[in-house]
């Protein structure tokens, strides 16, 4: 059984990675537009790979952590 803190740590890591990627994409788009005057188009495939997939993993890790947090263990039930 994996401790709850591990899920929280991985979730935080994925969250920070997705926000960093999102910031980098926005920064590159703004820099490209200011230097050339043209819009930089990033395909939907790259947005899916770079942002949506890690966010999906983040949702799964959150669901597992919530399940682990709310699950009742037999040891706790016996002591009550």
Q: Rounded to whole angstroms, how far apart are CA atoms 12 and 7? A: 9
Q: What confidence score (pLDDT) does residue 23 get? A: 92
CA dihedral for 39, 26, 21, 57, sign (positive or negative): negative
Quick one: tokens of 18?
Answer: 């997705």
pLDDT exceeds cutoff 70 at 76: no
Cβ count within 10 A of residue 61: 20
Contact (CB, 8 A) for 50 and 21: yes
pLDDT, tens digit, 9 for 90 and up, residues 1-50: 667 677 778 888 888 888 898 899 889 889 999 999 998 888 888 878 88
Domain boundaries along the sequence of the chain: 4-70
Q: Rounded to whole angstroms, how far apart are CA atoms 76 and 70? A: 12
């Amino acid at each position: 059984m994996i401790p709850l803190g591990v899920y929280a740590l991985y979730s935080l890591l994925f969250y920070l990675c997705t926000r960093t990627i999102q910031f980098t994409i926005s920064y590159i788009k703004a820099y490209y537009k200011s230097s050339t005057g043209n819009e930089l188009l990033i395909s939907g495939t790259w947005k899916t790979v770079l942002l949506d997939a890690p966010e999906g993993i983040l949702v799964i890790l959150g669901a597992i952590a919530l399940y682990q947090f709310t699950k009742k263990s037999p040891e706790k039930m016996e002591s009550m």
